[in-house]
Each structure stands twice: as structure tokens, then as C-alpha cells.
Chains A and B, each alone.
Chain A
């Protein structure tokens, strides 16, 4: 009796294990079934599920593009895997690419990572160049995603042409011009002139407000217009000799050592609160930030925000969509990528949340959402961003572009801005940090 119950228990355990195992196996075999059905062009009995991996907010879901695509292609269903933070998203993608499994069918790549992808992961992505008309995209956008042997591993989504978003009401109280063209003319050509306007602002600044959110935002904006960044064309690190870095650093230091900065760290909660409470009067705003400002400032900012052209044409951010070779549904994934990045769809995303297209042919018909236009005092944002986008210089990125940038903004500049260190001390700290990044 005793043995028989034990045996029956063991049998049950065995059965449970077996059931689990078959379940797992079934899971696997189902996947491969999908793979084979996809060769026959996706038949009626099984829908092909495409996964797309993104970070932050890409706006495809918000603009209803997935639904639209699924309606056009009834045999396809799309699943978006969103990771909020890029610094979490990218390492995950890198390891999966190299493991050759676990990648999504379509993977988004941030501009700061595109060089690393091009130089080290080129063979892990499908060459999209054959399938599209490359001339649709801005030339500099394409060149960023092209490998040495001419393979295009990512199609451009949005770009981040720069403008200055400013609070008209605060400018008025500080006794400054509030007209966007006059302001643009005042700081045209040089970010140091923008800093000069800041000095004017601080003379009569409304109580509790500062001119700009942070010194780092000025740095990023100024560097975004420089043709020389951290790497030269040949991929050599030139960060401590680069003219672009030097002049952007100087502009940032002028802000950090004055009292015109609200000393906030971008994308932190307090920064969001700063928008809501109107504690800073300007922010260098790439197109993708427009939607962010509208959302975070809320009703208090409505009609008070305005947009003026930035001192120089600059780019900050923007992404690509690539198709990993490890994906099971490459043909469908390529089609989806092509469709999502086509000018018409980019225009739709712009209409929803002002992410600016990387395809110039879309510019003529761009229409921002009506409430966005009203929110930003009817500023011609399409015009302003388009002008900037077309004149952005070609920039060369490097493998460690992002960590170097973080070292400079979040160590060097922050030490000067928040801890009262001298610019020389801040630069030395950044230098140590970059050395650590580069393993020197």
C-alpha cells in the first residue's frame, strides 16, 4: 500500500514533468510552424505575428499605424515590445543579436547606437538598401546607417532638427522681445548669442524662473550642429581635440557658471515638474520634444509656448528601424519596416506627435495636429524644423558615442553646474571618465 501510493505519486510527478516538457516542445514547434507557413506567404489558418522592438515612444501605436497595417494585411498581426529606457534596450538587443535568437522581427536603433550597429553588427542585419528607393531619405540619415561595403542596415524614422521653444509670457515679463523671428535673428549663427539673450533675461527674470532648463541641453544642442563630434570620418577618437566639442563645451560652461540655468537633469521627474510649473523660459527642442513639452506642461503652458529657429541647424536624436537576420519572418518584417518608414506614414506620426520625418518629400504636406499648433502659439513649426533638417551637416558617430556624451554631460557639466566646480575641474573629471569609457 505504502509503496503503491508512493509509486502513483511518482507517476503523477512524472506525468507533470512530461506534460510540462511537451508543452515546451509544443511551444517550440508552433514557432517553427509559423516559420514554414510564412514561406508560403502566410496562409489563412495561421496569422503571422510580427514583433517590433522599440524604446520610449515611437508613436506608431498612437498614430494608429499598426491597426492600419493589420487592416491592409489581414494575415499579419503586430506586437510592439517597448522598453522605456535606451540604456536598457540597447544592451539587450546587442546580446540577442549575437546570440542569434530572441530578437524581434523589427528592431529600432537609436542614432547614438547606429555606428556601433553598423560597425559591429552589420552582418546581423538584413540589407534594406535593395528594397527601397534610398533617395527618399535625407542623405546624411542614410549615410549613418550604411556599412563600409554599402549595406543599408536601417531605414530612417524621425530626425531631431533643432529649434528653441520658449515661454512667451515669461519673456514678456522679463522685458524681452516675444516675436519668434526677431528672437531668431538675435541669436542667429552662434549659440553664445543665445546665452547673451539669457543674460538679458536674468536681469529682469520673473521670480522663480531661469532662462534655460540645464547646461547640458545647451551643450547637446550646440554639438548637434557641429560637423565634428567625438570621432572623425575614419572612426578615430578625436573628442578632446574636436572643435565642435570645444565650442559646445564653452557655451555650456557659460550657462553653468551663470545663474541662468534651472539645473535640472533632462528626462528626470523634476524636469517634468519644471515644465508643469514653468520654472524655465527656454529649452532647446528637437522636433520629438514638442509632444513631450505639450504633455508635461499641460494646460498651464497652452498658448504660452512659442517656437523660434535655433542659432544653428542641428540634429539631436532620431532613430532607425532594422531587420535582424535572426528574425523568422524577414520578408514580412522588411515590408513592415518599409511601410512604417515611408514618407506618408512618417507624416502621420508627425501629425500625431511631431516626430519629424527623415524623408524630405513628406515635408510639403506636413500638418501638425491642430491642438499642437494652438499650444505653440500658431508657430510655423513645420517650416522651422524643415529648414533646420535640410541644412544639418553630416556628422560622424563612433562606437562609444553615447557613453562619451554621458560622461561629458552627466559628469563634467553636472559637476560645474550643480557642485560649483570650475570649468577646468569639470573638464578634467570628464576626461577621466572618458578615459575609463575608452579603456585607456
Chain B
């Protein structure tokens, strides 16, 4: 008994631990464990291949990530501790935390932070609610459902620039279609670009227009995974469609909703293109009172318009930290919701 055990154990251990043993000695006898091969060099290559190849396959992403995300990120951190001007990149004077201190006392920074938050809320909340509603409607059996779904995705497919340009014309205070319509129902013209809430609303509406369909399709996909019998039993219990939506669909969608909330809040924190283009010439100011200047715009204005790269880098890192905080809040929120499920 013991000897047979030893005999069984022996070849395996010798094959693993004996680069010096002649090839074939172990393998020839048993013919299992390693593929046929004339020499141990090959077998080592094979094992190395098994271990290393997966890393080689995922490497391109990480190399690109390292080159285009990680290095700039660290370089930005370095810049943020220096006084660097765009016109003299080679002259960097150590500034310590001055740039960050400067931000904390800057009205412009707090204003941008506040705007990012308010625009984020008034664009994300209605957007996701509308998306659920639309997904619910699309989930019914419809004639030509594919057409509706494709149409739903069209705004997302248009470029930010094109969408914003059209919206800018719609919202122009003199002769814009929105004001014309307001006039029609007896409301005076609103200066959409310069009024505080008007401009934020206008920017949000562009975001909502572009992303609602995208989120609706995500919801739709999740909705179609909900078992039909849940609806059937609900309808047997006498639930109407609205009640079904509220008590079957929404609870089942919870993980998907959380996902879209996380993605949308990250997107909202980085909001940049829409307000920049909505502002037209000198759009990076976000209006004469910075009423829709988001953090992204403020960073762009400091870095590329004013040329103060040190401060812009500090803003970039502050944004990064804020995103981390947002992520943590989302995580805590998710955990609590999971528990309550």
C-alpha cells in the first residue's frame, strides 16, 4: 500500500522538481501530466505560456492605461504642487499646497462645485425617471418595436457639438423657438444663457435629451429579463399595469437602477462639453456670472485659456477626489439597498 502510493507520487514530484533529470525518464513511463515533448525546455515553455499568456493578453489595456491615464494622472499631481504656466512649461517652481489652498478660498471653485452638483441633480434625476418610463412603454408589445428602440438611441448617437448647437439656437433669447413658444402661451422671454436657473435648466435639458434613450435601453434590457410569470400572477391578483410597474418592475430593476445612477453621477461630475458649447464664444466661463460653469469648465478655463496649469492640475485632482467620494457614497448606498432587498 505504502509502496504503491510512493510509486504514484514519485513521478509527479520528480517531473516538477527535476530540471536536471533526463527528459522522457518520467514522462516516458507514465505519459500523463505534460504534453508530449522531446525536451524539458519545451515543457517549461509550455508552463510559462500557461502562466504568462493571460497576462500578455490583458497587457495591451494596462499598457495603454498606464501610458495615457496613470502617467498623466501622476504627472498632474506633480504639476498641481507647482506653479506652472502654459507658456513656460520648463519653469516649474515648487508651490507645495498653494494651489489647493488657493482653490479652497476661491469663489470660482466653490461656485463651479455647486453648479456641477445642481446641474448634475436636475439632469440625472429626471433623465433616469423618464428612462424607466420609456423603457416600460417600450416593453409592451408594439408594432415596429425595433424602430422605436433605434429612434430612442438616436440622440445618443448624435455628437455633443451638433446637439448643443441646435439647442443653443432653440434657446437663443431673441428669436429662439423656446421663447417664441413661451410668448405663445403668454410668458415673457427668458434669457436662457444668462439667467441663473434658466441656463442650468438649458444645459441639463441637453444632457437629458442625449442620455435618456441610452438609459432607457439599458432598463429595457433588464426589464426583458424579468420573468413573465411575475406579471401574470400579479395580474391574477388584480394588479393593473401601473401597480405592476410599481411592485414588480421597479423592485426587479433595482440593481440596474443602481448601475445607471453610478454611471450617471460620474458623468455628471465630469460634465464639460455641453456647457462649453452652450456658452458659445468664451464658453469656458460658463456665463457672465459663471452661472453654469462646471468643474470641468473651470479646469479648462484655468489651464488652457488663462494658462495656469498648476492650478488647473489642482482642480483636476480635486475632481478626482470628489469622484472617489461620490463612488464611496454610491457604494454605501448600494450596500444598504442590497440589505433591504
Question: Which residues on A are within 8 Å of B, measured CB to CB?
Answer: 3, 87-88, 91, 94-95, 98, 116, 120-121, 262-270, 273-274, 277, 279, 399-400, 403, 406, 410-411, 414-415, 418-419, 429, 432, 436-437, 439
Contact = CB atoms under 8 A, between A and B. Distances in A.
A406 B285 contact: yes
A419 B285 contact: no
Interface of B: 35, 46, 85-90, 106-108, 165, 168-169, 172-176, 191, 193-195, 280-282, 284-285, 288-289, 303-308, 311
Contacts of A429: 288-289
A415 B289 contact: yes
Contact of A269 (B106, B165, B194, B311): B165
A87 B194 CA distance: 22
A95 B86 CA distance: 7
Contacts of B191: 418-419
Contacts, number: 91
Contacts of B307: 91, 94, 400, 403
A95 B280 CA distance: 24
Contacts of B87: 94, 116, 120-121, 399
Interface of A, secondary structure class, is helix
Contacts of A120: 85, 87-88
Contacts of B169: 269-270
A266 B281 contact: yes
A98 B92 CA distance: 13
Contacts of A400: 306-307
Contact of B280 (A3, A265, A279, A436): A265
Contact of A410 (B106, B195, B285, B303): B285
A265 B90 CA distance: 37
B306 A437 contact: yes
13 contacts: A91-B307, A120-B85, A263-B173, A267-B280, A268-B280, A269-B165, A269-B168, A270-B175, A406-B285, A410-B281, A410-B285, A414-B194, A436-B306
Max count, chain B CB within 10 A of own CB: residue among A267, A400, A410: A410
Contacts of B89: 95, 98
Contacts of B311: 439
B168 A98 contact: no
Nearest to A409: B282
B282 A91 contact: no
Contact of B106 (A95, A116, A436): A436
B194 A418 contact: yes
A87 B46 contact: no
Contacts of A419: 191, 194-195, 288-289
B46 A406 contact: no
Shortest Cβ-Cβ A-B pairs, 7 listed: A414-B288, A120-B87, A268-B280, A91-B304, A418-B194, A270-B172, A410-B282
A273 B304 contact: no
A266 B175 CA distance: 16
A411 B288 contact: yes
Contact of B288 (A88, A91, A415): A415
Contacts of A88: 304
Contacts of A94: 86-87, 307
Contacts of B88: 98, 120
Contacts of A437: 306
Contacts of B285: 406, 410-411
Nearest to A437: B306
A262 B174 contact: yes
Given A94-B307, A267-B280, A410-B285, 6 more contacts: A91-B307, A95-B89, A268-B168, A410-B281, A419-B191, A437-B306
Nearest to A406: B282
A403 B305 contact: yes
A397 B303 CA distance: 21
A390 to B, nearest CB: 31
B281 A265 contact: yes
B325 to A, nearest CB: 25
Contacts of A95: 86, 89
Nearest to A87: B305
A437 B301 CA distance: 10
A403 B169 CA distance: 26
Contacts of B106: 436
Nearest to B91: A120
A414 B173 CA distance: 14
B174 A270 contact: yes
A91 B86 contact: yes
Contacts of B305: 87, 91, 403, 406
Contacts of B280: 265, 267-269
